[in-house]
């Protein structure tokens, strides 16, 4: 039977390594996911012992939930829409704050097949908020909905691994 890491083609070693770094430091992580609807949390928690470092996560697929649950400023959403680098950064900060974690990860984007508010399918913004730094990475991914969402999870794990090392 395949797990989420296999289905998404996320290297298990990468997830194990990032969890081990966080565990060794006594740090925790939480997510606020739109595009991926919980897939990053699922990937992180597929590894045994993840409960030592994964605090939780929010699926904020609807725009209003980005504000009401994750704390993204409503004016930011009104001005830029839900798919924007600053929204990803705010989602990460909200996950960190509302889940009382050391690290927050936020994702927003368009899986397709159609554009959303003029934003092309495959546009993805990844936000990271940590104890001493925040970062945003924007990527353009190709493929159908599954391919874009799976690639977004892989990109998140790659960037987060670099941030925590």
Looking at the chain, how many residues does it have? 165
CA distance 82 to 79: 9
Residue ranges covered by each domain of the chain: 4-164
End-to-end CA distance of the chain: 32
Q: What tens-digit pLDDT sequence spans the chain (165 residues)?
A: 579 999 999 999 999 999 999 999 999 999 999 999 999 999 999 999 999 999 999 999 999 999 999 999 999 999 999 999 999 999 999 999 999 999 999 999 999 999 999 999 999 999 999 999 999 999 999 999 999 999 999 999 999 999 998
* b (16+ CB within 10 A) / e for 129-158: bbeeebbbbebebeeeeeebbbbbbbbbbb
Kindly report the pTM of this predicted structure.
0.97
Domain 4-164 in this protein, CATH class: alpha beta
């Amino acid at each position: 039977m395949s797990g989420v890491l296999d289905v998404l083609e996320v290297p298990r070693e990468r997830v194990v390594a990032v969890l081990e770094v966080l565990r060794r430091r006594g740090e925790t992580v939480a997510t606020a996911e739109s595009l991926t609807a919980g897939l990053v949390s699922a990937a992180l928690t597929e590894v045994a012992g993840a409960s030592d470092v994964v605090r939780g996560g929010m699926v904020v697929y609807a725009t209003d939930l980005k504000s009401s649950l994750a704390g993204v400023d409503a004016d930011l959403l009104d001005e830029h829409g839900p798919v924007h680098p600053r929204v990803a950064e705010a989602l990460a900060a909200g996950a960190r704050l509302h889940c009382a974690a050391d690290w927050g990860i936020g994702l927003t984007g368009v899986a397709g097949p159609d554009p959303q508010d003029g934003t092309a399918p495959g546009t993805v913004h990844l936000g990271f908020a940590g104890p001493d730094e925040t970062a945003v990475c924007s990527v353009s991914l190709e493929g159908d909905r599954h391919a874009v969402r799976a690639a977004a999870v892989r990109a998140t794990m790659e960037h987060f691994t670099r941030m925590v090392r």
